[in-house]
Structure 1
Amino acid sequence: MGRAVNQLSDKWIKKTDIPPGLYGDGNGLYLQVSNRNTKAWIFRFMIRGRARKMGLGDIDQVSLKDARKLAQAKRLLVVDGVDPIEDRKTRKAALVVEREATRAKATTFRQCAEAYIKAHQSGWKSAKHASQWAATLEAYAYPVIGSLPVALVDRSHVMKILEPIWTTKTETASRVRGRVEKILDRARAVFRHGIRTPFSG
């Protein structure tokens, strides 16, 4: 004889006088009522000999119907030997990385440059050095690539910056190239390693 399922009802779970405790609906789904009369869905399961429980949301956010669907989906994971709690953590972590990567790649060259200067200026020999960085980028790099997403900046953009000044202001051009390359190198490192705050150090 199988276990009873769908033991709870919408009308019953909305009652205000339910004593604190766990109330089973079937298939591992429980309504948890706290001492303060808050109500939340819990999925209880066994995996690799270990009893675990997983929150599925408050009843104000997740209906009984949806809670049953969630519990069934988590139950199928358990059947396949997958811990639903660890699976959710992995999915959340992957989503965070994806969002941060998207945000980082949308960051403009100017934003990256300003963040780079801010992060490194304390280690530079003088405030004048930091102001020189800002001034050269403002004069030569920003008009060409300042508003461009840093992920799209390539060699052709750098050449476009340098060509007008390479023969007339060779030393300045060399400095600009070095500074642009340092910013781009740092940007590539950020994207490659998934650092969450670009140019944080």
Structure 2
Amino acid sequence: MGKLTATGIAKLKEPGRYWDGEGLGLIVGKGGSKSWIVRVQKDGRRRDIGLGSASKVPLKLARERAAEVRQQIEIGIDPVAERAKAAGIPTFSAAVKTVHAENAPSWKNAKHAAQWLNTLETYAVPAFGNRSVADVDAAAVRDCLAAIWLEKPETARRLRQRINAVIDWAVAKGYRTSGLALPVIDKALPRQRAKPKHHAALPYAELPVFTRKLRESESMGRLALEAVILTAARSGEVRMMTWGELDLDAATWTVPAERMKAGREHVVPLSPQAVALFERMKAHRREYTDLVFPGQKRGKPLSDMTLTKALRDMGLNVTAHGFRSTFRDWVAEQTNWPSDLAEAALAHVVSDKTVAAYQRGTMLEKRRELMAAWANYCEGARCGNVAQ
């Protein structure tokens, strides 16, 4: 026998939750509204599932619906997901696939698109993928994030953003009335300790000796590594370089926007040493690909591990990407070139609006002088403070 009665329910005015028994509860809102919920627990997880308004669902029917929900939960059926299917509302898992498909054309590369989907399918879908996208609440998202919040902080932050993107899509589609309460979720998660990871870099003072050693023998990995150093570019940009992007007469390399981290086209002025390197690369050109640095597999670019192996074979525990830091440190400590010029050479996005406005031009000729001085330094020239 339940604790609530039809007469007693009609008299309830005080906001709160009133329990009938076996998980069935009545919620009285501040404005006097009344609605039914049933509290269920399975595999250590507790959920409150709505059963409708008390003005439309009488006590007897609420008890019947509560019993039906408990039975479904017990045999492994998610009643909310079943209800959502009937109403045409997708599950979170289905919503993830739809959002991914809609946004994939706007992402700059297939790798990012795959990572976006993989993050959600690895962590969020197992946690609440079978729930209606309308039923995913702050508690479910918080518990999902908490599982990796401290162990994998960067992955957790990306997961948070991607879950929220799916929920925002659901709001825009009319599948739910509001988004996630992110401030509430954030406050309920433990504080992450920032652990910045820097790419291991070669000190610039050791670079001239390293350059001579690098040129002692010639391989595709060593040639690509030299190109990374002379252009101060990211290794991925160099490995994916095509002959069509190079203009050796004008001594420029134009990297298309879709291959740049900032999503903007970047023109790299080439030093005489860089031009000479690419002239040497013509001997390695292959008929079946336009890639400057082709890999061992037909039509595929050189792998990043090939550059890493070249460094390890030379007895160095640094990364190809770290040479960008080497370049940046050299500019800051050994020259009087302005820092914004170095940032432009590295294709970094500048947040300060004033500096960003100054950088709207490519500063190509100034950067050409800087890259020539850098190439000379790599070969052992005593530059001292380079004049602007």
Normalized against structure 1, the TM-score is what? 0.44
**Structure with greater helix share of residues:** 1
Normalized against structure 2, the TM-score is what? 0.23
- The higher-RCO structure (CA 8 Å, 6+ apart) is 1
